[in-house]
Amino acid sequence: MISSMGKTTFTLHRALKVGEVDPRLFGSFIEHLGRAVYGGIYEPGHPSSDENGLRRDVIDLVRELGVSIVRYPGGNFVSGYRWQDGIGPKEKRPRRLELAWRVIETNQFGIDDFLKWCSAAQVQPLMTINLGTAGIEEAAQIVEYCNHPQGTYWSDLRRSNGAIQPYQIKHWCLGNEMDGHWQIGHKTAEEYGRLATEAAKVMRWIDPAIELVVCGSSGQGMPTFPAWEATVLEHTYEHVDYISLHTYYSNRDDNTKNFLAKSLDMDQFIRSVIATCDFVKAKKRSKKVINLAFDEWNVWFHSSEADKKIPPWQIAPPQLEDIYTFEDALVVGCMLITLLKHADRVKIGCLAQLVNVIAPIMTAPGGPAWKQTIYYPFQHTSKYGKGISLNLDVRSPSYEDKEFGEVPYIEAAATWDENLREIAIFAVNRDLKHEQNVEGDIRDFASLRIREHITFTHPDLKVCNTASQPDAVKPRAINGAHIEAGKLTVKLPPASWNVIRLTYEDK
């Protein structure tokens, strides 16, 4: 183990390419759960709401966050959802018992409403279909409703509901977490693989341009992981484009050093799924590459005890409303860096979720919306993490952790935008007490200069942003980086998220 007082080194070189950063890596997730929809993105009568009941203050924060794609409508919810309940005149939409989260679903917000919101928020939809209680026929019907131009029952029904032009939804998920015993319509890998294959076939017969995400394991802690992935891909390999990954991390034991190392687990998870995909590719003698959709990831644990006390069968109760600390933001930053490190294969990512429910954005009913601590690392990465992901070959001092062994103090990745001639370095200093000195060999890029060094840090790791103190912790610009003789030197404050933006002129 290297002492925390050592120096971190890295190399910034054009040849150390990981892969193209797909803008869809910076997606999010909206489920009919808690106040994500009702009181989150949709609140008729709110002072900021438009004629469709969509909160414009939330839309503004979503745009500022830089979200590119949003998965909807679930999540566990989707496995018992009848999408037909959420279309047509609102006064005729039925109320249902919603069994995944044991609430009343009013169906006042449905597919057409969501797609209006997507247009207003300038995001792409990632639509999830029900493969729990529904199946092949409904999979075909929903694609026909959304994407077929006209002249059939479902396409003409969409037109009569006000959407004359087809939505042309490109991205679809084939169910949600079907390996989970908690899932409505839980299936074995064989059962799900067969059903997903047949659903994929009819969906593509209606619209050959769509891209499909098949369910991977709901977490690598599942006893069937990664055999689930291998079996499911045996069935679906030639019919799908991506396989999903889900993971959440917590600090229930209040062990911050271990918590900050959790992204190492995420990295191993990604590597294992890639290896499984490539095993099936080799077994099938296929030329096709299956990429990854990490369509649920976040920190989640703060609200667990409070959620147990919520009586069932309410309408949009405050479920899963984690209030995030600064240390949570550091973990989210490490997870974003991990996604960038695998940009060659992880092409879609969804921070779960977007508003109120384990979310970067919080709202008060009838009141303001504000940014949680985890908002900022995501915003920085979505805004500046463009172009090519670069492997920095970081050599860092480390500390010992019982679960992960040696953990580097510095977690870092970089992106290179050739068009804008800009480089962004994202770095987390896991050292809770010491500033870390970082030195980079940058000779491969000519005439580099520092555009800015943004840091996000606070002496209290448990500090939160709230409605009364929405700016208790936020990023600031510092003069912590210098360039001289082909070397970049940076001082990273203890327990900090950092963005170092560089510009350059071509050789």
3-state secondary structure 12-70: CCCCCEEEECCHHHCEEECCCCCCCCECCCECCCCCCECCCCEEHHHHHHHHHHCCCEE
CA distances from 234 to 38, 193, 289, 307, 346 (A): 39, 8, 13, 38, 20
Could you give the residue numbers annotated as active site?
177, 296
Residue found under tokens 């405050």: 318
Number of H helices and E strands in the chain, helices first, is 11, 25
Q: In degrees rounded to 5, what are phi and psi of residue 358? A: 35, 65
- Identify each DSSP E strand in 100-250 by its residue range: 103-105, 124-129, 171-174, 211-214, 242-249
Note the helical H segments in 132-185: 136-147, 153-160
Q: Which amino acid is at 142?
A: I
Rounded Cα distance between 142 and 129, Å, is 8
Distance between the two ends of the chain, CA-based, in angstroms?
39
Which residues have a Cβ under 8 Å from the Cβ of 365 and sit 6 or more positions away?
Answer: 39, 43
SS3 454: strand
Q: For residue 269, what are its two tokens?
A: 């998870």
Q: For residue 458, what are its two tokens?
A: 């606070």
Q: Which of 205, 207, 204, 179 is nearest to 193 (CA)?
A: 179
Rounded Cα distance between 430 and 477, Å, is 19
Give bridge partners of residue 40 from the DSSP assignment. Answer: none
Q: Are 172 and 179 in contact (CB under 8 A)?
A: no
Q: Which of 435, 434, 418, 415 is nearest to 426 (CA)?
A: 415
Using CB atoms within 10 Å of the CB of residue 332, give its burial: 0 to 12 exposed, 13 to 18 middle, 19+ buried: buried
Q: Which of 488, 333, 502, 329 is nearest to 426 (CA)?
A: 333
Residue found under tokens 């610009």: 477
| CA 332 to the chain's CA centroid | 10
Residue found under tokens 């870092």: 412
